[in-house]
Each structure stands twice: as C-alpha cells, then as structure tokens.
Chains A and B, each alone.
Chain A
C-alpha cells in the first residue's frame, strides 16, 4: 500500500513538473543583465550627444555611423537573449522593445535635420531610463538571480 502511494506521488509530481515547464520563464542571466546596462549607457549618451548644446553637431554621415554601430550592439544583444530564452521568449522581447526605441530615436534625429530639443530630451531621457530600469528589474525578478 505504501509503495503504491509512493509510486503515485512520484508519477504525480513528474507530470506536474513536466506540464509546468512550458509555463516557466527564462532564468536570470548575468550577461543579459550586463547588456541592458551597457545599452542604456550607449543610448543615453547618444541622446545627450545630439541634444542642443551637446558635444556633437548634427551631421547625417556621423549620425548614420553611430546608429549603425548601435544597430550592431542591439542585434548582438538580441541574438544573445534569444539563445538563452526559454519558450516564453521574455529575454528577446525585453531587448526588442529597447532596440525599437533606439531605432525610433535614430529615425527621429535624421528626420529633424537638427539636434534634439532640450525640453524633448529632458522628458525623453526620463522615459528611456525607465524603460531600461524595467528591463533590469525584470531580469532581477527571474529565478536564479544572485542574492
């Protein structure tokens, strides 16, 4: 009787464990975490550099170079996140939102034909930092994060 009960519990737990796997999320990854912080620094610098009074003058060729180099950074982070994702795809989705934002900012700067306005940049930077902040908070809420 006891053996039958034990067997039942093991089978039940195995089924529960296997069926639960599809629901579970991608685990914490230190490199993905680091990628978020590096991309944030790069993105914030890009906005600061090309804001009125900033160190860089508007120049399409220079902006294209920075945006191309950014595109590569975000693509690398995206490929890495995808390679570490569980079925939920949450790592890739988090990087993807940040990549879209950077691309939008590049297009906006090119379209303007002049540096970002100061009032816009102040408000925009606050939102950009929140976006990366949420991405980092999401990473830190994963299973396996360092204590």
Chain B
C-alpha cells in the first residue's frame, strides 16, 4: 500500500514540491491535534489520497469528498457557536432570574 510519502514524492518541479512540503507539514500537524475534528480531517485526507493513488477514487470523487469534508467542518464550527451562545444565555439569564426572583425584597 502506498504511503503518503510515496504519493507526495519530490518531482523536481519547485512550486509543486513546495506545495507538497507545506501540505505534509499541515497534515502532520492535523494528525497530531487533540481536537477530534482536526485530527479526523487529517486522517481522512490522508486516507482519500491513498485511495486515489490506488485507483479506488478518481479525481472528481476525491474533490467531491474534500468539499464534503469542508461542509462537515463548517457544520461542526456552527455547532460550537450554538453551544457557546446557549451556555452564555443559560448562565446570564440564570443569574438575572435568581437575583430578580429570589434576592430583591428578601436579601436587602
């Protein structure tokens, strides 16, 4: 089975080799990440490139999977935003409700 290094061998073409080096650095960073979504993105991209190299996917299929992954990451980020806003609302409103309903007229 080809490895990512086999697939991204230097070609002697400067611009392409630079892109490959940058890509490998990003890929290794992603795979080392503790956050599941980033790590999983790195692992999936590596897997799909290997599948492409083995002929299990064609270029259009590979591009389609990468675009699909982009949307998954967008949805994940949105989920984080929703959870963070909900937490902010719960804590802020909870504090306000306690003071208004339980403290005023009783504590003071």
Contact = CB atoms under 8 A, between A and B. Distances in A.
Partners in one complex: yes
A112 B68 CA distance: 17
Interface residues of B, number: 38
Nearest to A93: B78
A119 B57 contact: yes
B71 A25 contact: no
A104 B79 contact: no
A141 B86 CA distance: 7
Nearest to A111: B60
- Size category of the A interface is 35 or more
A25 B85 contact: yes
Interface of B is mostly: helix
Interface in B34-72: 44, 47-48, 51, 56-58, 60-61, 64-65, 67-69, 71-72
A126 B74 CA distance: 16
Interface in A9-25: 9-10, 13, 16-17, 20, 23-25
Contacts, number: 112
Given A20-B89, A137-B79, 5 more contacts: A17-B92, A97-B75, A119-B57, A120-B64, A142-B82
Interface of A: 2, 5-6, 9-10, 13, 16-17, 20, 23-26, 88, 90, 93-94, 97-98, 100-101, 104, 108, 111-112, 117, 119-120, 123-124, 127-128, 130-131, 134-135, 137-139, 141-143
Interface of B: 44, 47-48, 51, 56-58, 60-61, 64-65, 67-69, 71-72, 74-76, 78-79, 81-83, 85-86, 88-90, 92-93, 96, 99-100, 103-105, 108
